[in-house]
Amino acid sequence: MIDELLAPRYLGWLLHGFFNTVVLAAVVCACATLVGFVLCVLRAVDRGGVSVAVRAYLSVFRNTPLLVQLFFWYFGVSSLFPEGWLEWLNTPHTWRVVALHVMWPPFEYLAGFVGLTLYTSAFIAEELRAGVRAVPAGQVAAGLAQGFTPAQVWRHIVMPQALRIALGPVLGQYMNAIKNSSLTMAIGLAELSYASRQVETETFKTFQAFGVATALYIAMIVLIEWGGQYLRRRVAYPH
Amino acid sequence: MDFSVIGDNLSYLMLGAWPEGPLGGAALTLVLSVSSALASSAIGLALGVALAVTQGATHRALLAFVGFFRAIPVIMLIFWAYFLLPIVLHIDAPALGTVVCSLSLIGGAYLAHSVWAGISSLPRGQWHAARALGMRPWQVMRWVILPQALPIMAPSFVNQWISLTKDTSLAYVIGVGELSFVAAQVSNRVMVHPTEIFLFVGAVYYLVCASLELCANRLARRYAVPVR
C-alpha cells in the first residue's frame, strides 16, 4: 500500500493546505485570545447586564457545534447581506499598503475566520476565568490592604498569577483551534483536511494522502506541547 | 425572519425520512451521541485504569496511543476509518459505525486522562490499606479506588458527552443524515432562509448541550473536593 509516495504536484497541494491551516489557526488564536481576554474582564468587573450578556454569549457559543456555527456564518449571514455585498466580498480586491499588496480573501476565509474566532474565544474566556478564580482571595484582600487600587490589584497581583495558571489550558485551546480549523473544509476553505481529501480523490492513494496530513497535524500539536513546556519553565515563579 | 420553512420541514429535520426511510435528523444525532458516549466511557475507563496501573515502556506506549487520538482532528479520524476500515479489515463498514467508532476513540482518549487523574488524586494510603487487608490489586481497584474516584470524574464524563454531541455533526463529511446534514440538505433544497434553518438547528443542539452542562455543573458541585 505504501509502494510509492505522492507526486510533487500533490505534495504541493498538501503543503498549500498546511500553509492555510497554519495561517488561519495563528490568526484565529491571536484574535480569540484578545476577545476571550476582554470577555473574561467584562464578566469579572460587571455585576449587571454586561455580565449576563457575556454569560449568554459563552453559553451559546460553547454549547452549539462549530460546524453549525460555520454554516450559519457562511450560508446564513451571507443571505442577510444587502444586494451586492456578497459579490463585492467574493471578487478579488487588492490594496497597496506601504510596499505590500494586500489581497482580499474569498468569503469562505472570512466566514471561517469569524466562526472559528468567536467559538475559540468563548473557550479561552472560560480558561482565563478559571485562572483568575484560582488566585486565592487572600491575595486580593492583602493587595487592597496594602493600599493598591482595585485596578492595580487586578493588574499587578491577580493577572500575573492567573495568566501563569491559565497558560497550559489556553495552549490546549490553541491546539483545539488547529484541530477545529479542519471543519472549515465543510464551507470550502482549502485547508489541510480539504487538501488531503482532494489528493485522495484524485490519486486514490488514501494512505499517503491522509498519512501526510495526519503527520502534519501531529507535528503542529507536538510543537505547541514542547513550546508550552519550555514557556511554563521560563515563566514559573521560583520556589 | 421567516420561520415557516422550519415548520414545513420539521419532521424531516427531527426524524429524517423515518418511518418510510432510515432514521435521520435530530433523532439520529441523539442515537449517535448516546452510543458514542457509552462506548467512549467504556474505552476511557479501561485506558484510564490501564494508565494508572502500568509503568515503564507499557505506560509510555499507552500514552503515545492515547496522545495520537488526542492530537488528530476528528475529521481526519473519520476519514481514516471510513476509507481504510473496508480495505484493512475487508469488511463493509457502514458510515454510521465508522462515525461512532471514531467519536468513541477520540472521546475515550480524552476521558482516559480524566480517569487517570481521578485515580491518581486518591491518597496512596488507600491502596496500601486495602492491600494490607488482603485484597487483590483488581479488587482494590474495583471496591476501593473506583467507587471513590468515579464521582470525582463524573463531571468530566458529562462534559465529554457534550463534546461528543457537538462532534456528531462531523458525520456530515461522510454523508450521514444527522441533524447538521439534513439541515444543509433542506437549506440547499429550498434555497431560501438559510439563516432561520441554521439558527433553529443551533437551538436544538443548544437545548441538548446546555442541559447536559447544567448536569455537569450540578455533579461538580455535589462531588466538589472540600478545600482543606
HEC secondary structure over A154-200: HHHHHHHHHHHHHHHHHHHHHHHHHHHHHHHHHHCCCCHHHHHHHHH
In eight-state DSSP terms, residue A149 is: -
Is A81 within a domain? yes
Q: Kindly tell me if the per-residue pLDDT of B219 is higher than 80.
A: yes
- Domain count of chain A? 1
The phi, psi pair for A97, rounded to 5°, reads: -110, 115
Q: Which domain holds residue A128?
A: 27-192
Q: By the CB < 8 Å criterion, does B198 face chain A?
A: yes
Average pLDDT over residues B198-211: 95
Q: Tally Cβ neighbours within 10 Å of residue B92.
A: 8
How would residue B8 be classed by pLDDT, with cut points 50, 70 and 90? confident
pLDDT at A2: 47
- Kindly determine whether residue A72 and residue B73, on different chains, have CB atoms separated by under 8 Å: no
Of the candidates A71, A79, A213, which has its C-beta nearest B76's C-beta? A213
Mean pLDDT is lowest, of A214-228, B15-29, B109-123, B139-153, for B15-29
pLDDT at B68: 96
Average pLDDT, chain B: 91
Distance from CA of B167 to the nearest CA of A (A): 7
- Kindly determine whether residue A186 and residue B173, on different chains, have CB atoms separated by under 8 Å: yes
Is A203 within a domain? no
CA nearest to A56 within chain B? B210
Is A236 within a domain? no
B98 by Cβ neighbours in 10 Å (0-12 / 13-18 / 19+) ranks as: buried
- Kindly determine whether residue B76 and residue A182, on different chains, have CB atoms separated by under 8 Å: yes
pLDDT at A104: 72
Is A162 within a domain? yes
Average pLDDT over residues B136-162: 93
CA nearest to A71 within chain B? B198
Is A108 within a domain? yes
CATH number of the structural domain spanning residue A34? 1.10.3720.10
Q: Kindly tell me if the per-residue pLDDT of B126 is higher than 80.
A: yes
Average pLDDT, chain A: 91
Give pLDDT < 50 ranges for chain A: 1-2
Q: Considering just the CA atoms, what is the radius of gyration of chain A in Å?
A: 22
Q: Kindly tell me if the per-residue pLDDT of B113 is higher than 60.
A: yes
Average pLDDT over residues B134-156: 93
pLDDT at A135: 94
Asked if A86 and A110 touch (Cβ cutoff 8 Å), the reply is no
Is A144 within a domain? yes
pLDDT at A1: 46
What is the ipTM, given to two decimal places?
0.92
- Kindly determine whether residue A196 and residue B76, on different chains, have CB atoms separated by under 8 Å: yes
Question: What is the rounded CA–CA span in Å between residue B116 and residue B146?
Answer: 11
Is A234 within a domain? no
The closest of B95, B32, B158 to A63, measured between CA atoms, is B158
pLDDT at A72: 95
Of the candidates B162, B167, B184, which has its C-beta nearest A63's C-beta? B162
Q: By the CB < 8 Å criterion, does B201 face chain A?
A: yes
Is A71 within a domain? yes
Average pLDDT over residues B24-46: 95
- Kindly determine whether residue B198 and residue A217, on different chains, have CB atoms separated by under 8 Å: no
Interface size A-B, in CB pairs within 8 Å, comes to 118
- Kindly determine whether residue B79 and residue A197, on different chains, have CB atoms separated by under 8 Å: yes
